[in-house]
């Protein structure tokens, strides 16, 4: 099990992380969600052992992770980091890139392992191509496969799908995260993608200015969005003042509002219909600013409507 407790971490005099703590069991997936500059990459680099921690502690199976001042080569042997700066060899083939991390003691076993990894990252047809000739997304998949070659106990992924097109990304995420579960490999992913974080993680950590804004399983985090910052990761925000729906301020997502057949305090004029495939996202102009809700049908521009909260 990984246990992380960071009281504070700074670059020079600039504090990057403060009061961040969590635990991760083997085989679990933690998604770290947050805006650019909130400390996601720094957190991964600390865990991997690239940065020294003065105020905090990290352990794996109750053994301290002591960082770069105690290890001649930074990084722990049981974990792998796939950073945004990809660690690939451009002038060798995809298959050769993967094979460099294998034992080279049994040619048949190595070939089988390379084939397995190529399947996981969907690069079978590119096995013989030199990495320099691949697209950015394909190079990212090579880096993923290389990190998996020796089957680490903990995999750290920093925006691992940022260069991969949506069509291939959806399949790759399913295959990769299922593979990690099958192999009981723990994983921490730093991401901007809230859909990915909700769908594939066991735990979700949201960082805001280096501090923990929310932590728990995805369902807990999603159903208890307490600020515009948190809600903003999951869609347009409706900030409903106290006294409109209840005595409290409400931060609601579009799917949490619906049309009302009766007059309510929450009303507005339709100013835009956004087609979303299986529904429309409707934007209203109201005395509380813009309001957003979902509708099965397109609504006439300029029409006046009333809203209520979904049950």
Asked, for residue 237, whether it belongs to a domain, the answer is: no
217 and 278 both lie in a single domain? no
60 and 184 both lie in a single domain? yes
Are 252 and 309 in contact, with CB atoms under 8 Å apart?
A: yes
Asked, for residue 235, whether it belongs to a domain, the answer is: no
- Which pLDDT tens digit goes with each residue over 246-278? 888 889 999 999 999 999 999 999 999 999 999
Total tally of structural domains belonging to the chain:
2
Pairing label, strands 280-286, 250-252 = unpaired
- Which pLDDT tens digit goes with each residue over 72-86? 777 788 999 998 878
| Distance of alpha carbon 114 from alpha carbon 88, whole angstroms | 15
Check residues 167 and 51 and name the one with the higher pLDDT. Answer: 51
Are 261 and 294 in contact, with CB atoms under 8 Å apart?
A: no
220 and 257 both lie in a single domain? no
| Distance of alpha carbon 298 from alpha carbon 79, whole angstroms | 50
203 and 273 both lie in a single domain? no
Of 197, 228, 259, the residue that ends a domain is 228
Asked, for residue 233, whether it belongs to a domain, the answer is: no
Asked, for residue 244, whether it belongs to a domain, the answer is: no
Asked, for residue 216, whether it belongs to a domain, the answer is: yes
Q: What share of the chain is helix, strand, coil (3-state, %, to 5)?
A: 30, 30, 40
Q: State percent of the chain over pLDDT 70.
A: 99
pLDDT of residue 67: 82
Of 199, 228, 257, the residue that ends a domain is 228
pLDDT of residue 293: 97
213 and 166 both lie in a single domain? yes
192 and 289 both lie in a single domain? no
Are 131 and 97 in contact, with CB atoms under 8 Å apart?
A: yes
99 and 135 both lie in a single domain? yes
pLDDT of residue 105: 67
Asked, for residue 273, whether it belongs to a domain, the answer is: yes
216 and 255 both lie in a single domain? no
212 and 291 both lie in a single domain? no
- Which pLDDT tens digit goes with each residue over 106-145? 778 888 999 999 999 999 999 999 999 999 889 999 999 9
Residue 297 DSSP symbol: S
pLDDT of residue 279: 96
Are 34 and 40 in contact, with CB atoms under 8 Å apart?
A: yes
Of 228, 257, 292, the residue that ends a domain is 228
Which pTM does this prediction carry?
0.89
Distance of CA 244 to the CA centre of its chain: 34
Asked, for residue 31, whether it belongs to a domain, the answer is: yes
CATH number at residue 127: 3.40.50.300
175 and 298 both lie in a single domain? no
pLDDT of residue 46: 94
221 and 256 both lie in a single domain? no
Asked, for residue 239, whether it belongs to a domain, the answer is: no
Range of the domain at 22: 2-228
- Average pLDDT taken over every residue of the chain: 91
- Which pLDDT tens digit goes with each residue over 12-22? 888 999 999 99
CATH number at residue 275: 2.40.50.140
146 and 281 both lie in a single domain? no
């Amino acid at each position: 099990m990984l246990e992380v407790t960071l009281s504070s971490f700074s670059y020079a005099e600039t504090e990057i992380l403060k009061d961040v703590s969590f635990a991760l069991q083997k085989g679990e997936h933690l998604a770290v969600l947050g805006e650019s500059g909130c400390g996601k990459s720094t957190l991964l680099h600390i865990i991997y052992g690239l940065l020294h921690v003065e105020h905090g502690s990290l352990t794996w199976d109750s053994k301290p992770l002591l960082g770069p001042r105690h290890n001649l080569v930074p990084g722990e042997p049981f974990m792998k980091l796939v950073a945004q700066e990809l660690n690939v060899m451009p002038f060798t083939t995809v298959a050769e890139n993967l094979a460099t991390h294998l034992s080279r003691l049994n040619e048949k076993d190595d070939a089988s392992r390379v084939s397995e990894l190529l399947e996981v990252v969907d690069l079978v047809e590119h096995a013989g191509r030199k990495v320099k000739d691949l697209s950015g997304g394909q190079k990212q998949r090579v880096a993923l496969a290389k990190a998996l070659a020796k089957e680490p106990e903990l995999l750290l992924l920093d925006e691992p799908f940022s260069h991969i097109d949506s069509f291939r990304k959806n399949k790759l995420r399913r295959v990769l995260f299922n593979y990690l579960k099958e192999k009981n490999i723990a994983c921490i992913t730093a991401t901007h993608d809230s859909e990915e974080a909700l769908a594939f993680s066991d735990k979700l950590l949201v960082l805001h200015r280096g501090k923990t804004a929310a932590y728990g399983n995805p369902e807990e985090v999603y159903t208890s969005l307490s600020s515009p910052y948190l809600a903003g990761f999951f869609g347009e925000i409706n900030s409903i003042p106290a006294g409109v729906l209840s005595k409290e301020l409400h931060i609601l997502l579009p799917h949490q509002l619906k049309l009302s057949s009766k007059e309510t305090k929450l009303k507005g004029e339709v100013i835009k219909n956004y087609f979303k495939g299986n529904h429309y996202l409707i934007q209203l102009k109201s005395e509380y600013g813009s309001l957003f809700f979902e509708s099965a049908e397109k609504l006439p521009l300029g029409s006046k409507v009333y809203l209520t909260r979904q049950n």
